[in-house]
């Protein structure tokens, strides 16, 4: 995937001066731990009880440090505290709770600042290495997949589960998902299918695979590297060979056939025609998702395969902005994360009722002062 993009905005330019970053906080006080190790930098996501879910406080610590380090360090490592997760996603619960009370600015601000950070990572000038050990979903994907090196372990668990909450694969999902092999990206986006361990590498999400009990040793070796060739050699030395087949190999032909259709409706027709147990299970899975999310995601990835990361994030911010105004996102988070009744009432409730006007509204411009890019 091409990485060199530049994302700028009025907000992005002011990040370093707006937010006062305290770097000597103890681990029990800070949701992000910043470590300076000679000419290297380490960032630790430090909310292990919340599976290191990303919130605005964390974004506002990470971004200015990355900006500063880009010209001062030779390498950055990003990892999660605890053994369960790198980062299980963004803190959409607080976003939706505020929106339900009538304050959509909380979500607008969070998505904007999160996406600006994703864009910085995608354009980072020095080696950016993410240890994606444990759960890596949603916002955690945005903090890792656009970096040059992504180290998975046998404990890695990747997914983009946004369909379940009436959202869409964001944090640059429209950029990296269409660039996976065949129609794998669209399949992962629409179904939220989970990839584990070596599959994260085989799918192209990770660049290397390392045993989890070797990560500390790997980190120490990386912090002693003197140039990028040393980094590459070190990563290769720690990479664990895995000769097993990709877990989706047996159905990849079906995925490519069914998910190469020109619409969600046609995908379902092809799945019904296929008639296999896999196809039946996939139909059941898709039937639980927000019909609106399915359709905007289909278009999002279709457009994203022709855009650079900067333009993908711009498109995604518009989608997020409009999702805050659409019932499905609020309802999906309510059903899954707030009331936890697992029974969302989608509106519209069927694919046939999701009109072209609804889809186009999600992709429409937002007020100029809200746009992600600087349009000076």
Token pair in block for residue 291 = 């019909």
Nearest to 193 by CA among 244, 145, 247, 147: 247
Q: DSSP label at 335?
A: I
pLDDT digits (tens, 9 = 90+) for 94-114: 999 999 999 999 999 999 999
In a domain, 130, yes or no: yes
How high does pLDDT run on average in the chain?
92
- Residue 16, pLDDT > 50, answer no
- Write out the residue range of the structural domain in which residue 89 sits: 10-370
Q: Are 100 and 124 in contact (CB under 8 A)?
A: no
Q: Are 294 and 301 in contact (CB under 8 A)?
A: no
Report the first-to-last Cα separation within the chain, whole angstroms.
Answer: 29
Residue 6 has a pLDDT of 41
CA 313, distance to chain mean position in Å, is 11
What lies within 8 Å, CB to CB, of 42 at 6+ separation is: 34, 35, 76, 77, 78, 79, 219, 223
pLDDT digits (tens, 9 = 90+) for 253-282: 999 999 999 999 999 999 999 999 999 999
Q: Are 66 and 75 in contact (CB under 8 A)?
A: no
Q: What is the mean pLDDT of residues 132-143?
A: 98
Residue 13 has a pLDDT of 39
- Residue 314, pLDDT > 90, answer yes
Residue 374 has a pLDDT of 53
Residue 316's domain is classified under what CATH number? 3.90.226.10
Residue 372 has a pLDDT of 87
Token pair in block for residue 325 = 């105004």
Q: How far apart are CA 138 and CA 169, in angstroms?
A: 7
Residue 14 has a pLDDT of 35
Token pair in block for residue 189 = 């986006």
What lies within 8 Å, CB to CB, of 79 at 6+ separation is: 42, 43, 44, 45, 86, 130, 131, 133, 215, 219
CA 131, distance to chain mean position in Å, is 14
- Residue 8, pLDDT > 60, answer no
For residue 198, report the phi and psi dihedrals to the nearest 5 degrees.
-60, -25
pLDDT digits (tens, 9 = 90+) for 148-196: 999 999 999 999 999 999 999 999 999 999 999 999 999 999 999 999 9
Q: How far apart are CA 323 and CA 163, in angstroms?
A: 12
Q: State percent of the chain over pLDDT 70.
A: 91
Residue 369 has a pLDDT of 84
Q: DSSP label at 245?
A: P
Indicate the pTM of the whole model: 0.90
Domains: count for the chain: 1
Q: How far apart are CA 188 and CA 159, in angstroms?
A: 7
- State the burial class of residue 236 (Cβ atoms within 10 Å of its Cβ: 0-12, 13-18, 19+): exposed
Q: Strand, helix or coil at 238?
A: helix
Q: Is the dihedral of CA 304, 302, 134, 213 positive or negative?
A: negative
In a domain, 57, yes or no: yes
In a domain, 375, yes or no: no
Q: How far apart are CA 69 and CA 127, in angstroms?
A: 11
Integer Rg of the chain from CA: 20
Residue 240 has a pLDDT of 85
Q: What is the mean pLDDT of residues 137-142?
A: 97
Q: How far apart are CA 126 and CA 217, in angstroms?
A: 21
Q: How far apart are CA 254 and CA 260, in angstroms?
A: 10
Residue 35's DSSP bridge partners are 42
In a domain, 1, yes or no: no
Query: Does 18 or 161 have the greater pLDDT score?
Result: 161
7 band by pLDDT with thresholds 50, 70 and 90: very low
Token pair in block for residue 364 = 């429409």
In a domain, 141, yes or no: yes
Residue 362 has a pLDDT of 97
Q: How far apart are CA 168 and CA 313, in angstroms?
A: 12
In a domain, 86, yes or no: yes
Nearest to 119 by CA among 45, 2, 8, 1: 8
Q: What is the mean pLDDT of residues 325-354?
A: 96
In a domain, 115, yes or no: yes
pLDDT digits (tens, 9 = 90+) for 24-62: 333 345 999 999 999 999 999 999 999 999 999 999 999
In a domain, 3, yes or no: no
Q: Enumerate the active-site residues.
A: 90, 139, 162, 170
- Residue 23, pLDDT > 60, answer no
Residue 24 has a pLDDT of 34
For residue 340, report the phi and psi dihedrals to the nearest 5 degrees.
60, 35
């Amino acid at each position: 995937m091409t990485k060199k993009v530049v994302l700028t905005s009025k907000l992005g330019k002011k990040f370093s001066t707006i937010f006062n970053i305290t770097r000597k906080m103890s681990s029990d006080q800070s949701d992000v731990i910043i470590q300076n190790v000679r000419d290297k930098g380490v960032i630790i996501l430090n909310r292990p009880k919340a599976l290191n879910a990303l919130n605005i406080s964390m974004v506002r610590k990470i971004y200015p440090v990355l900006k500063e380090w880009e010209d001062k360090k030779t390498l950055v490592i990003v990892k999660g505290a605890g053994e369960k997760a790198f980062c299980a996603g963004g803190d959409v619960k607080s976003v939706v709770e505020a929106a339900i009370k009538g304050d959509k600015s909380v979500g607008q601000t969070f998505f904007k600042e999160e996406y600006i950070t994703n864009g910085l990572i995608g354009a980072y000038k020095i080696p950016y290495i993410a240890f994606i050990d444990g759960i890596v979903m949603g916002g955690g994907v945005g903090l890792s997949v656009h970096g040059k090196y992504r180290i998975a372990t046998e404990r890695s668990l990747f997914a983009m589960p946004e369909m379940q909450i009436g959202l869409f694969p964001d944090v640059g999902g429209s950029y990296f998902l269409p660039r996976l092999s065949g129609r794998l990206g669209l399949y992962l986006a629409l179904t939220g299918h989970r990839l584990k361990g070596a599959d994260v590498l085989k799918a192209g999400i990770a660049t290397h695979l390392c045993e989890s009990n070797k990560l500390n040793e790997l980190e120490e070796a990386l912090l002693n590297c003197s140039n990028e060739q040393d980094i590459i050699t070190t990563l290769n030395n720690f990479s664990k060979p895995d000769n097993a087949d990709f877990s989706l190999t047996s159905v990849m032909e079906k995925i490519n056939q069914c998910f190469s259709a020109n619409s969600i409706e046609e995908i379902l027709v092809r799945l019904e025609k296929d008639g296999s147990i896999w196809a039946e299970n996939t139909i059941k899975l898709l039937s639980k998702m927000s019909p609106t999310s399915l359709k905007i995601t289909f278009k999002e990835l279709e457009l994203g395969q022709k855009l650079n990361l900067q333009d993908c994030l711009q498109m995604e911010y518009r989608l997020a902005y409009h999702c805050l105004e659409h019932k499905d996102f609020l309802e999906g988070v309510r059903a899954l994360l707030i009331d936890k009744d697992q029974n969302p009432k989608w509106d519209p409730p069927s694919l046939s009722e999701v009109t072209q006007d609804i889809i186009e509204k999600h992709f429409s411009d937002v007020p100029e002062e809200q746009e992600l890019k600087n349009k000076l």
